[in-house]
Structure 1
Amino acid sequence: MHYYKPVGPVPDKPLRARALTALLAITLLGLVACASSPEEEAIAQQPQVMYADAKRSLDNGNYRGAIQKLERLETRYPFGEFAQQARLDLIHAYHKAGDRDSALDAAEKFIRESPRHPNVDYAYYMKGVIEYRETENILTRTLRIETGGRPPSGMERAFASFSQFLLRFPDSEYAADAHQRMLRIRNRLAEYEFRVAEYYLERRAYVAAIGRARYILENYQQSTFTPAALKLMVSAYRELGMEESANQTEAVLRASYPDHSSS
């Protein structure tokens, strides 16, 4: 049996090849058509028929129904090839149904039980996608700034998951998408730190403001908030009367980002 992995511009949905869909449909129709009533129940419990039924629910967006059918298939045929495909599909189905914990558990279970599976990269990738969904929900709102606080943990977990995925599978078909998601997360993490730095600057806590801005330079150097962080540091140094540090930071700002001014 061939395993089909997600494809397309947003590769977090496992799509099967049309040939597999057609084959399963033909098998289902042919078997049922030839079966007598007592035989139909036995046929309906065959793994390929159970999988075709679950896949139909999944493709139609009936994620809860698909979950029930996939779980039933996995329980009845835990060692078959269709069960492995069902485990991959369960990751996606739980995710689309909004069941974050079950989706993560399913991904981690697949990685743990099938570490050498040819599609294990999908499970690693989906760990990041699942956390990223939580991050996206956060990004639609204004980040709440807490003094001394850290960014929402979902952001950091998603970033770490995608980092692990890219380290293990740099040539995966999902690598480009994971990289783009990491860039967006990095900018949001930098934004969070910058807003905290601004919070401290407005309250004249200049040392704390410099510390948060420096954190951006050390950890998110390529983010879009790097020049703003440098500019904020210049202002904070001047408020502290540290003219030499202010001038040095301003020189870095002008050399690296000539379009930005600290004035």
Structure 2
Amino acid sequence: MMKTARALFASLLVLSAGALVSGCQSDPDIDISKLGVESDPPDVLYTQGLANMKAGNMAEAARKFDAIDRENPFSEWARKALVMSTFVKYRQGRLDDALASGNRYMAQYPKSKDAPYVQYLIGLTYSKQIVDVTQDQRAAAKTVEAMQAVIDNYPDSEYVDDAQAKIRFARDQMAGKEMQVGRYYMERKEYLAAISRFRTVVEKYPNTNQIEEALARLVEAYYAMGIVEEAQTAAAVLGHNYPDSQWYADSFKLLKNGGAEPRENPGSWIAAAGKKLLLGS
């Protein structure tokens, strides 16, 4: 009985093996490239990726660079491919993927020769996500953070000038958001809430294109609350820094119609902020 069972088991193994071989022989050839596997060496894949970029085939270029990174991890070719993969995904508009690969590169190779460029790409990717001031400005804040890292960590790189320009734009957006909310509160006569927003602009974003209006709105809000001395101080600071501004002309007229004029109170927070404006901080 035992011999019979063993013979039957051996027969089953042979039959199973034969069926497996027969099945493999009958299957059509499999294109391994469709499985995400590349058979070429990394230098060839890299050249192919560059060629696809030049031809405008960004999707195929990304596939080649990703294959190098996946199949040759931590090699020099993988490092170079990760740079190009970040760029290609940025160009494709795959912004989350670009950030993921860019941040991974910076975590692995912060001292490499391409690190300034990748950090700059991260900043560009955030900058591309900045939206209208009526919406959340988280991307603007991230842009400032990423581009400041370019300036602080790679001060001699060729990307510093544009990083500074992108920071100015992002800060204008962030200040614009504060102004938009402040105006919302002004319309509803919620003056304290409005003043809080305008104060943020004056103290935190003094070198943005929102500063003149912020000071003028402070004149309006303080005057509406009957805090004339602070309104006068805001007008005085506005006049000292932007004497030809229409915002100053409007603020001066508002005070004059009420029998007051611009006059700085040295103890006011607005006067302290005004000194920073004069210093160009």
TM-score interval for Structure 1 and Structure 2 normalised by the shorter chain: 0.7 to 0.9
SS of the aligned residue for 1:93 comes to: helix
SS of the aligned residue for 1:112 comes to: helix
Query: 2:188, 2:134 → 1: CA distance?
Result: 17
Query: 2:59, 2:215 → 1: CA distance?
Result: 49
Indicate how the Cα distance of structure 1 residues 74 and 241 shifts in structure 2: closer, same or farther if over 3 A, else same: same
Query: 2:185, 2:149 → 1: CA distance?
Result: 33
Query: 2:134, 2:236 → 1: CA distance?
Result: 32
Residues 199-214 of structure 1 mapped to structure 2, 5 A cutoff: 199-214=184-199
Q: Which of residues 61, 70, 73 in structure 1 aligns to 2:65?
A: 70
Residue aligning to 1:235: 220
Q: Which of residues 88, 93, 98 in structure 1 aligns to 2:93?
A: 98
| TM value normalised by structure 1 | 0.76
1:218-258 CA-to-partner distances (Å, cap 9, x unmatched) read 11101111011000000111100011111111111111110
Q: Which of residues 25, 43, 51 in structure 2 aligns to 1:48?
A: 43
SS of the aligned residue for 2:197 comes to: helix
State whether structure 2 residue 52 is matched by structure 1 residue 57. yes
Point out the structure with max Rg over C-alpha. Answer: 2
Unaligned ranges ≥5, structure 1: 1-43, 146-150
Residue aligning to 2:275: none
Query: 1:177, 1:248 → 2: CA distance?
Result: 36
RMSD of aligned C-alpha atoms?
1.5
Query: 2:145, 2:232 → 1: CA distance?
Result: 36
SS of the aligned residue for 1:217 comes to: helix
CA deviation after TM superposition for structure 1 residue 194, in Å: 1.0
1:20-46 CA-to-partner distances (Å, cap 9, x unmatched) read xxxxxxxxxxxxxxxxxxxxxxxx713
CA deviation after TM superposition for structure 1 residue 121, in Å: 1.1
Q: Which of residues 176, 179, 201 in structure 2 aligns to 1:194?
A: 179
Residue aligning to 1:153: 138
1:97-116 CA-to-partner distances (Å, cap 9, x unmatched) read 22222111111111111122
State whether structure 2 residue 209 is matched by structure 1 residue 224. yes
Q: Which one has more relative contact order, counting CA pairs under 8 Å at least 6 apart?
A: 1
Query: 1:218, 1:60 → 2: CA distance?
Result: 49
Equivalent residues, number: 210
Residue aligning to 2:117: 122
CA deviation after TM superposition for structure 1 residue 198, in Å: 1.1
1:60-93 CA-to-partner distances (Å, cap 9, x unmatched) read 2222111111111222333433222111001111
Residue aligning to 2:103: 108
Q: Match for 1:56: what amino acid?
A: A
Q: Match for 1:144: what amino acid?
A: T
1:102-133 CA-to-partner distances (Å, cap 9, x unmatched) read 11111111111112211111121111111111
Residue aligning to 1:28: none
Residue aligning to 2:150: 165
- Runs (4 or more) in structure 1 with deviation over 4 Å come to none
Query: 2:111, 2:127 → 1: CA distance?
Result: 25
CA deviation after TM superposition for structure 1 residue 180, in Å: 0.7
| TM value normalised by structure 2 | 0.71
